[in-house]
A = this chain, B = another copy of it.
């Protein structure tokens, strides 16, 4: 396999890696040049500024995952419909410069007449399949908008977005609950986190469970300092409840994310008796590498 310039161009940051023929990371950069910071028409020059040197030195193909392929990005790469695997994505690349620079399309799926979308997570999922040498799994990519992804026979068959991280911020900063919360989150209090988690997992809806932040404070049953951890448990507990995992404890969930967030989800899954394994940010480079390999095979 040839060299590859692997790029993860998100909303708020731009990361890239020069991969050797064996997939090893030869060099890596990370700059605060997310798509929201790029002026209109400026994508080509920002790209050249950061990756031109690698292109000249190696002549390598550049594959770009993430929001750079959205309507607000470099060019819009149309969503690839699920079910979709490596080959489907490789054949739907959006070429900026044929053979030199391509955007990886995001995926869309449909559930009862309502679409769902992802951009960038599909690449991490493909990377995780590669890293774990598995063909199928239930995966979660936690974050502002968590994605729960079902993979069968190396294809993403469906997924669902949960506005978990954003909901935490909304309740934390803008709701009546903000009055009973301290100014800063502080360290995670594991007991309070688990208490919130279990309460939400056993409740019918976060609309009700969230009110417990207020009543536990009113009756002085939980110190203010523990409340951010308790609230974090509530929103993650709601997300997990909605997966219907409770009875499926034999299933292994793959958690893909930054170490801190992945650890929090692992703690949450463990509390509910669900086994899990964790994959970090390297998943993106492996995913892009796998797509490039697919491209070489089809060529």
The answer on a CB contact under 8 Å between A161 and B202 is no
On chain B, the residues within 8 Å of A163 by CB distance are: 175-176, 207-208, 210-211
The answer on a CB contact under 8 Å between A167 and B212 is no
A218, closest chain B residue (CB): B117
How does the 8 Å CB contact mask read for A164-193 relative to B, with 1 for contact and 0 for none? 101100110111100000000000000000
Residue from B112, B202, B205, B210 in contact with A112 in the complex, judged by beta carbons closer than 8 Å: B202
The answer on a CB contact under 8 Å between A145 and B211 is yes
Indicate the size class of the contact surface on chain A. 35 or more
A222, closest chain B residue (CB): B114
On chain B, the residues within 8 Å of A243 by CB distance are: 204
The answer on a CB contact under 8 Å between B244 and A204 is yes
How does the 8 Å CB contact mask read for A153-164 relative to B, with 1 for contact and 0 for none? 000000011111
The answer on a CB contact under 8 Å between A115 and B174 is no
On chain B, the residues within 8 Å of A162 by CB distance are: 205, 207-208, 211
A219, closest chain B residue (CB): B115
- Chain B's nearest CB lies how many Å from the CB of A20? 38
The answer on a CB contact under 8 Å between A166 and B160 is no
The answer on a CB contact under 8 Å between B170 and A175 is yes
On chain B, the residues within 8 Å of A160 by CB distance are: 208
The distance in angstroms between the C-alpha atoms of A127 and B196, with both chains bound, is 36
On chain B, the residues within 8 Å of A114 by CB distance are: 199, 212, 215-216
Which 8 pairs, one residue from A and one from B, show the smallest C-beta to C-beta distance?
A204-B242, A205-B242, A162-B207, A161-B211, A115-B215, A170-B170, A114-B212, A174-B174
Can you list 10 contacts pairing A with B, beta carbon distance less than 8 Å? A114-B212, A114-B216, A115-B216, A115-B221, A117-B218, A145-B211, A164-B207, A203-B242, A204-B244, A205-B205
